[in-house]
Structure 1
Amino acid sequence: MNFFKKKNARIRRSIKFRKNFKRLKNIRLVVHRSSRNIYAQIISSDNFVLVSASTLEKKIKNKISYPGNKKSAKCVGKYIATRSVKKGFSKVSFDRSGFKYHGRIRELANSARKYGLKF
């Protein structure tokens, strides 16, 4: 039963933040994590995916030993940042999808900042 409380709280937080992003009409860096993988996407204000990276890609998969840890999150952050800067999107809003800002989410954000994203 505790799982459903945690999941509902995460979904409630994500809805609250997304309302604000929709009002501001910013390009956003959306992060989703599962127990096994981590995914990141740069999404425009009209909900089109501009750039994406995840631990399921072959380039990233070959560099990491296990896709569900902080090291893999750093790698995804590096790839999403370099790809988005190449396409000309350097200023984004960070949408963590209701996940708390610690662990893999924090590592991905710090890595993305290190490689050129500003948020």
Structure 2
Amino acid sequence: SVFRSNKQIYVQLIDDLAGKTLCGASSKGIEEGTKCEIAAKVGEEIAKKAIAAGISEVVFDRNGYLFHGRVKSLADAARNGGLKF
């Protein structure tokens, strides 16, 4: 699940059956780069956390945001990090 505000972007992996968040990542603390570059770093971070937790396949919920810009950068980086959508 992805949430983006004007300044930050957040992503979390949720187990729908159990209703629990498994892991998450955000752009808080990342200050260098454009918004799309920061979103890509968040995508890389969530991919690393997911692989460490034994998760390799996910369903990408963009929460109604258009699939371009920061949302697309995050998704592409997560795919490159090893997650399968």
Relative to the length of structure 2, the TM-score reads 0.93
- Pairing partner for 1:47 from 19, 22, 31: 19
Aligned residue number for residue 82 of structure 1: 48
Which whole-Å CA distance do the structure 2 matches of 1:99 and 1:39 have between them?
Answer: 13
Task: Tell me the CA shift for residue 114 of structure 1.
Answer: 0.1
5+ long unaligned stretches in structure 1: 1-29
Indicate the RMSD between aligned Cα atoms, in angstroms. 1.3
Shift of 1:65: 1.8
Q: Distance in 1 between matches of 2:32 and 2:81?
A: 22
Once residues 61 and 19 of structure 2 are traced to their aligned partners in structure 1, the CA distance between those partners, rounded to angstroms, is: 13
Q: Which has the larger radius of gyration?
A: 1
Please state which structure has a larger fraction of its residues in helix.
Answer: 1
Number of residue pairs the alignment of both structures matches: 84
